[in-house]
Each structure stands twice: as structure tokens, then as C-alpha cells.
Amino acid sequence: MKVSLIQSELVWENPVENKKAFDTKLIELYQQTDLVVLPEMFTTGFSMNPQGIASNYEILNYLKVHASKGNFAIYGSVMYATDTGYVNRGIFMNPDGEHTFYDKRHTFTLAGEHNVYDKGEEPVVVLFKNWKINLQICYDLRFPVYSRNTSDYDICIYVANWPVPRVNAWDALLKARAIENMCYTIGVNRTGKDGTGMDYNGHSQVYDVLGKELIDEHPWEQNGIKTVLLDKNHISHYRDKLKFLQDRDRFNLL
């Protein structure tokens, strides 16, 4: 399966301009890939001001059009208005218009995200082209129990606004999640500066089951698109050869 990562600057709290920018990038990938991954809150940046700019059903139409015309799935997150408040919502849009929501479980208390957005209640794994994909968002990366591979998923995706001062943790934790869960792990981060003055330098990457980087440019710190080819035989080969997942401890996530 071909997966394309879009690493980009985001216009602060401006859904119109961000969607225009991603229009161009997504059109470039039409008929060229199977899955496109966008950053966290790709229409606004990581803002705590959702009033008046949070997405609702219109973002589904935006993603549906591109997924259909491009013949690929898309995953990214947006600030999303619900009947009871706001969530940091991951949206996995299939080419046929079917979609799955994942609401960020671990809201980032350091930035006050827990005061603005309701947290999600449970992990979400989607099935696409016979690949089981675990959907995660940014701060979830710091909590390995939450991504623990008890469902034999093949891919774990993290979309993020992960800043420069802590980017070493981003690199290390993405690699760790791949190794411990024996899965492909994809991390897509943004670049540029947000409205709070926070700097971002990307470092988007794909790691295989053994923790090998599949994007040769590392660290990747420029705006652009990278496409990698994932091989399901790679997963089955090493899970058969190295049966580490069979030795995992058994406990329930509260």
C-alpha cells in the first residue's frame, strides 16, 4: 500500500486558507497513492479557540470530494463542533465516502486542551484495503498502553502539532511504538510557527516493524510530500520469526 505524508505549515485559525492550500497538495496526489495523512488540526493549527471556526459536516464534504476524485483514503484531525461542545476529531475518509471518527483521548493539559475539548472514550481501528489501522492523535503518542497492539493491527498513525523543543521525544516515541507493537508507525507533523509563537520543524516519518526509517531524509524538516510503500509481508515475516507479541502481558485499559 502506498501512503503519502503531507508535511506543511498551517495558517493560524484560518480554515479557508488552509483548505485552499491542501486542495493543491491533494490534487497533486490524485490517482497516485492509497492513503494520504495530514497533520493534526490541519484547518486551523493547534488552537484553543474553536468558537466560530470549528468544523462540522462541511469538512466531511471537503474530504469526501478529494478522497473520491483522488481514489485514496485521507486521515487527519480538525477541531470539530458537536452537539455538546468541541472535540479534536480525527477523520478517516474512504474513497467511497464512508468515514470513521476518532476523538483524541489524551487532551494536552499543558496547553489547556482539556478545558476546551472533550476527550475521546476509546481507541479506534479501521479496516482499509485489508489493512488494520490504529488511529491516534499527537499527545496519545506518550501513552503506550493506549496503543498497545492487542488487536493485531498493522499500522498506527499519529497526526500532530509537535513543537521543536520536544521533537526529540517525537522521534524516539514514534520509533518505540513501531518496535513494541511490531507494526508500521506513521507520524505526520506540521512545520512553521503558530499563533502562540510555537515553532514546528516536522520530522514526519514512517517506521517499519524493526524501527527502520522508511523516509530517507531524516530529519525531514521541509514542507512537501513523501510517499512510501508498505509491505504486509514484512509484518507477517517478522511476527512469525520474532513472536514478541505473543508474550505480552494481559490487562485491561480502564
Query: Known catalytic residues?
Result: 40, 104, 138
Q: Which of 123, 164, 168, 165 is nearest to 145 (CA)?
A: 123
- Is the sign of the CA dihedral 208, 46, 33, 94 positive or negative? positive
Alpha carbon distance 235, 199 (integer Å): 35
Residues present in the chain in total? 254
Largest CA distance in the chain: 53
User: What SS3 class is residue 49?
Assistant: coil
* Cβ contact 155:131 at 8 Å: yes
Question: Cα separation of 72 and 95, whole Å?
Answer: 5
d(C-alpha 64, C-alpha 66), whole Å:
6
One-letter amino acid at 191 equals: T
